[in-house]
Structure 1
Amino acid sequence: MVKGREIQFGTEADIEGRPCPDSLSEWIDGLPEDLIEIVNQLANSGFGAWTVGGCVRDALLGAPIGDIDLCSTCPPEIVMDIFGTDAIPTGIQFGTVTIKGRNQHYELTTLRSEGVYRDGRRPEHVQWGNSLLEDLSRRDFTINSMAIDLARKKLYDPFDGLVDLSEHTIRAVGDPMQRCDEDGLRIFRAYRFLDRGNLGLWNLNVELHAAMQSKQPILSKVAIERKWTELQKVLMGPHAASVLKLMIEDGALHHVLPNAQFVNPTILSLLEQYTDLSWTIKHRLAFLLVEFDGKEVHQSLKRLKLPNTLLKNTSEFHGFLGHVPKPHSAALRVFRYCLKEDAELHLKFQRILIDASISVHGLGPLSGKVDEIARKWVELKPQQTNHQCLVDGHWIMNRTGIEHGIRLGRLKQWLHRLQIEHDLTSVSEIEMELSRISWQHSEPSTWPQLRFP
């Protein structure tokens, strides 16, 4: 790759640009060296290249920059030749090649024109082009349809994205009906872009909003995984409750989470009031769907094709929300052991749900001595005992004469529970507990297990 900080001039764009504002010029001056080297290689090979999309938008907003994307007049096959082993053909049929920099990867997409969209997802054919204007005209929203020539320090904004940034408006490029027809996912993306984090909740352009409402049937053609990706970003936003409320009013949420279409408005108010960074995606999903039966929620989450771990953890936490721990130290130690890092947040959720009289799992509001539980929780000392059971099956067999089987396994669970309940730290203490419990004359199915509830 070409060394040096100077940026080489590549092919000029086919539209008029304007000088970059000072904030953008400073951003360009601070760009990574490996990105400059990529742009220079394209320029020295006779092609134009521009930073485009979200990185331009976020640089103008002064927001943190995520991925830096490029578009270029260079066809993908030539991109592969120029960058060799540093090029990955991630979506070469659509003109996209990922280029490996020293510290990050850059996605480069060849300028293109497209045929008709008949499936609401992708064009029937793609043709490589040389027009930056045509390329920007097929993008979703005006705030994402700006590009920068790094060498000339020119900003290309043919659809007045700067105006919409200043007015905090999400507006489609061109005809919003056509944009939604081309890719139904743009409906969900528009909702997601409303939440601009520290910049607040933005506005939907009236024509775009009408198109989003009118074109919702096309959402059935969008893969559930793509819809979930957008919904997940909505849920993790600081203004998630307001965006979800609009999605429910418009009937859009039904296309990804049918249960959530009937969420109690109070739940959304509580989300808005209490959500903070400690609420991960599983916590937010579980709280949003807390009124619904666990089996029903599990089926809805399974339909989203979530990763198995997220599906299991969300369903499990949702199930825990239907139970309030008893207000004594032994029960709280078991509760802490079983819920691990979720224990404290679970108690916070319980107080919120009880105070608001929210029906949980379709069984009515919870009841519990939340003040007493909170006091006991604060007084609870850190766990001293080992997380694993201090005794094994051989130890139990030697002292009880029980052979391998169900009775042995269940007795070990009982002893492990006693170890956690009383925070026992030695085998001699376990032996004392064994002498106190009546395991000889009772059925294993009645023995306590180490679980919550």
Structure 2
Amino acid sequence: MKDFLYILKEYINTKDDCIYLVGGTVRDIKAGRNISDYDFAVCKNFDNAANYFASKVKGSYVKMHEDTSRVVKDGVIFDFSKLKGNTIHEDLRKRDFTIDSMAIDLRDKSFIDDTGGLNDLMNKKIRVTYDEAFKDDGARILRAFRLYAVLGFEIDLNTLKLIKINAPMLSLIPGERMLSEIIKIFESKRAYDTLSLMDKEGVLKKIFSQVEPLKKKGKRKKNMV
């Protein structure tokens, strides 16, 4: 990791840019978890940063979206994205959950935590960063349950309330995004508990339209016995 950071620090100094380590990468560093992918937010030109990094590490470069470029080296993923907003503080406050809204400034290695993410991480709490998060992106509802399943954290009460309110947003999620999150939930050791909570919060019936009819059919059969 030190070699990677040295290369990016070199880019920052020569291109007069700023790069922040963000998202789940910072969360996993603080939690002492193994890291297989790195997320960077770049102030000026994320694509130039990705190309520069790829050439230095001799990695594979691909443009993922209009605001994200990816470099893969020896199975490790490095994503470079455009800073959302004018400052890192605006960017972090518009991310989904506080535990994924921390950053490290690669210029001086300073730690930035505007939303109390480190405290929530220590308390194993999944808390939404702002109340409109699910309305802005319904897929974040599934991501909350995926984090619940994979990390073993609890979802705080206000976040569960917002999930219930915004559950109809699930119908707007592209199938591939929904499937990706669901597969990760099923692959986790906490799959049963997660699906039970999703059912309790009314999320399963929004995802699997056949769940409710099957549950009612099962109740009718039970009453007939």
Q: TM-score normalised by the shorter chain: which range applies?
A: 0.7 to 0.9
In the other structure, the counterpart of 2:68 is: 96
Looking at structure 2, the residues matched to 167 and 83 of structure 1 have their Cα atoms a distance apart, in angstroms, of 36
SS of the counterpart of 1:215?
helix
Structure-1 separation of matches of 2:6 and 2:109: 13
Q: Which residue of 2 aligns with 1:69?
A: 39
The residue number in structure 1 matching 2:28 is 58
Are 1:172 and 2:128 counterparts?
yes
Following TM superposition, by how much is the alpha carbon of 1:52 offset from its aligned partner in structure 2, in angstroms? 0.7
Structure 1's unaligned 5+ residue stretches are 1-30, 114-128, 265-291, 293-358, 360-453
2:143 is the counterpart of 1:194: no
TM-score (norm 1): 0.44
Distance 1:36 1:187 in 2: 36
1:185 corresponds, among 110, 119, 139, to 139
**1:211 corresponding residue in structure 2:** 162
Distance in 1 (CA, whole Å) between partners of 2:17 and 2:32 is: 29
Contact 1:195–1:202 (CA under 8 A) maintained in structure 2: yes
1:57 to 1:227, Cα distance in 2 relative to 1, 3 A: same
Distance 2:212 2:153 in 1: 22
Please state if 1:47 is matched with 2:21.
no
User: How much does 1:112 deviate?
Assistant: 2.2
Within-5 A mapping of 1:401-412: none
Judging changes above 3 Å, is the alpha-carbon distance between structure 1 residues 44 and 210 closer, same or farther for their aligned structure 2 residues? same
Query: Percent of counterpart pairs with the same letter?
Result: 27
In the TM superposition, residue 208 of structure 1 has moved relative to its aligned partner by 1.1
What is the CA distance between 1:74 and its match in structure 2?
Answer: 2.2
Question: Given the alignment of the two structures, is residue 34 of structure 1 paired with residue 7 of structure 2, yes or no?
Answer: no
For residue 65 of structure 1, report the CA deviation from its aligned partner: 1.4
If the length of structure 2 is used for normalisation, what is the TM-score?
0.84
**Contact 1:148–1:154 (8 Å) recurs in 2:** yes
| Structure 2 counterparts to residues 371-410 of structure 1, below 5 A | none
Instruction: Kindly report the root-mean-square deviation, in angstroms, between the aligned alpha carbons of the 2 structures.
Output: 2.6
Q: Aligned letter for 1:111? A: L
Conserved in 1, the CA contact under 8 Å of 2:46 and 2:81? yes
Q: Shift of the alpha carbon at 1:56?
A: 0.7
**Structure with bigger gyration radius:** 1
AA at the equivalent of 1:191: F
Taking the TM superposition and a 5 Å limit, the aligned residue runs for 1:303-322 are: none
Deviation at 1:108, TM superposition (A): 0.6
Structure scoring higher RCO (CA < 8 A, sep ≥ 6) equals: 2
Q: CA deviation at 1:261?
A: 5.1
1:146-179 Cα shifts (integer Å, max 9, x gaps): 011245231110000011011111111122xx10
Alignment deviations for residues 185-217 of structure 1 (CA, whole Å, 9 cap, x no partner): 1111111111245xxx32212111111001111
